[in-house]
Structure 1
Amino acid sequence: MDWYERVIVDSGRAAALWALLAFLVTFAVTRAVTRRIRARRVAGPSADGGGALADVHIAGVHVHHQVWGILLVLVAGLVEFRWDPGSPWTEVLAVGFGAGAALALDEFALWLHLDDVYWGADGRKSIDAVLVGGALGVSLLLQAAPVGPATDGGALGTVLYLLVVALHLVTAGVCVAKGKLATGVIGVVVPIVATVGALRLAKPGSVWARRRYGEPALARSRRRFGADYARRHDRIRDLIGGAPDDAAGGAVTPGPGRKDG
């Protein structure tokens, strides 16, 4: 406990730690539950009739878990902003915020497509969103910051400081223009990530590639981000969140308003 007090509490990182832990645990539990529900459905009606794990319906409406997540984030944020209760309640609110963020981001693809794509190929975007959220949580826990304190170096020091900050934000923007949204978002907090992403090749469908690349550069981009690249990334996302229906051996195809969990 002495280590926790000295390293975490005294440095002001307790809320960030508990929010990150709640985020990771909630995501893991949520995916375990939704995968179990889907497995029962795939097994057939005889396996889907009982058990404590089931979709939540209120007045005949299937309530997706992103709803509970959004409510948790709103309540935790409003209470913290309004009353600033201090420790240990700040840590309790951080747990609620982290859990709510996990529930909401686990259905990020549903926000984006306004459709029930949770177990579709497009549902992999939710895994991307969770990975970005987790990376940002780790960065904040490590107290990384997009801009550090300005040095007291007079006018020249201030100008150089502002130039460094501007360059950092420009590199993050270049990452986004190159189709690397996750790299750009994480790069806002961790400058070296944005710098590397900005220097490397753009994705072929990105704004940067369409406007600035000739055919030779586009060909290199297509080779770099081709089918092998997509398969590698899909394997990682499927390992974390479960394979989509079209890659899971004939799982139940989602219909309007239906999702496991």
Structure 2
Amino acid sequence: MGHWLHRNIIEPGKLPLLLALTSFVVTFVVTRVITRTIRAGKGPFRNVKAGGMHIHHVVPGVVLTVIGGFGAVASGRNGFGSVLCAILFGVGAGLVLDEFALILHLDDVYWTEEGRKSVEVVVVTAALVGLVLAGFVPFGVNDVSQEEFQDRGGVIVTVATSFLFSLVALSKGKARTAIFGVIVPVVALVGAIRLARPGSPWAKRFYRRRPRARARSSLRAYHHDRRWAGPRRALEDWIGGKPDPLPTRLPGPGPGPGGR
């Protein structure tokens, strides 16, 4: 069954990648289900503590990622060892990126607005790996013909051009477009051609003396955020759970005589 699946559905050498992606997604989903039940006080699961210290699941995630990564390097691309290491790596990566916001902020922001970054990073990672699994190669090398591929100059020009498009899109404040553009160059091309977002390095450098371009950039960003911010937040809430509401700050007593 495994040989048939490998020979007829999956391209040679991509079975470990498929298993890593599957275990990554399943681990993230299971982890979010467990954390949401813990948050609601339901089910048999509880936070793991050792000596009164809360052990975040990023800790076993790092251990599994290291074991799976080094094991994959040592075992090669075929055999049971590569399959096992791919699964371990996917599980570890799922646990680590589920707490990406904690690593970024060095604070327990899991159920805060900042914690949404973890969900976004997981979704983007899964999408990128899925594109690679579907046959896309970074920087558009998959679009190069066999003759061009044998010519190193052609490959270098293709990679450099695709990288330049992604870099321009990134400088225009379009990080997601730049990231996906690494895999699908036409996405980076679109991001490089369109107006930069206000506040981006490109806008600060090239729109400083162009008030009309600044106005168009701000207006386009406003309409884009107004259209997509709500659906994106709803999707993130559905996947990862709603953040805790911000505490309401009660008005404090006024300053006393001579105080501030």
Query: Is TM (by shorter chain) over 0.5?
Result: yes
User: CA 1:111–1:153 in 2, change beyond 3 Å: closer, same or farther?
Assistant: closer
Inter-partner Cα distance in structure 2 for 1:179 and 1:221 = 13
Partner residue, 1:44: none
Residue 195 (str. 1) matches residue 189 (str. 2) = yes
Alignment partner of 2:128 out of 111, 117, 136: 136
Cα offset, 1:204, TM superposition: 2.4
Per the alignment, in what secondary structure is the counterpart of residue 245 of structure 1?
coil
Cα offset, 1:112, TM superposition: 1.2
Alignment partner of 1:113 out of 98, 105, 127: 105
Give 2:28's aligned amino acid. F
Give 2:18's aligned amino acid. L
Give 2:20's aligned amino acid. A
After superposition, give the CA deviation of every residue in 1:91-117 in whole Å (9 maximum; x if it has no partner). Answer: 111011111111111111111111111
User: CA 1:53–1:83 in 2, change beyond 3 Å: closer, same or farther?
Assistant: same
After superposition, give the CA deviation of every residue in 1:62-84 in whole Å (9 maximum; x if it has no partner). Answer: 11111111111101111222343
TM-score (norm 2): 0.81
Contact 1:106–1:127 (8 Å) recurs in 2? yes
User: CA 1:205–1:34 in 2, change beyond 3 Å: closer, same or farther?
Assistant: farther
User: CA 1:10–1:210 in 2, change beyond 3 Å: closer, same or farther?
Assistant: closer
Give 2:96's aligned amino acid. A
Q: CA RMSD in A?
A: 2.5
Q: Percent identity?
A: 39
After superposition, give the CA deviation of every residue in 1:197-250 in whole Å (9 maximum; x if it has no partner). Answer: 323333323222332234323322332343443222211211111111128xx8
Q: Higher relative contact order at CA 8 Å, sep ≥6: structure 1 or structure 2?
A: 1
Partner residue, 1:229: 228
Cα offset, 1:13, TM superposition: 1.1
Structure showing greater Rg: 2
Partner residue, 1:43: none
Aligned residues: 238
Per the alignment, in what secondary structure is the counterpart of residue 38 of structure 2?
helix
Partner residue, 1:4: 5
Alignment partner of 1:185 out of 175, 179, 189: 179
Structure 1: gaps spanning 5 or more residues = 41-46, 251-261
Q: Which moved more, 1:201-210 or 1:15-24?
A: 201-210
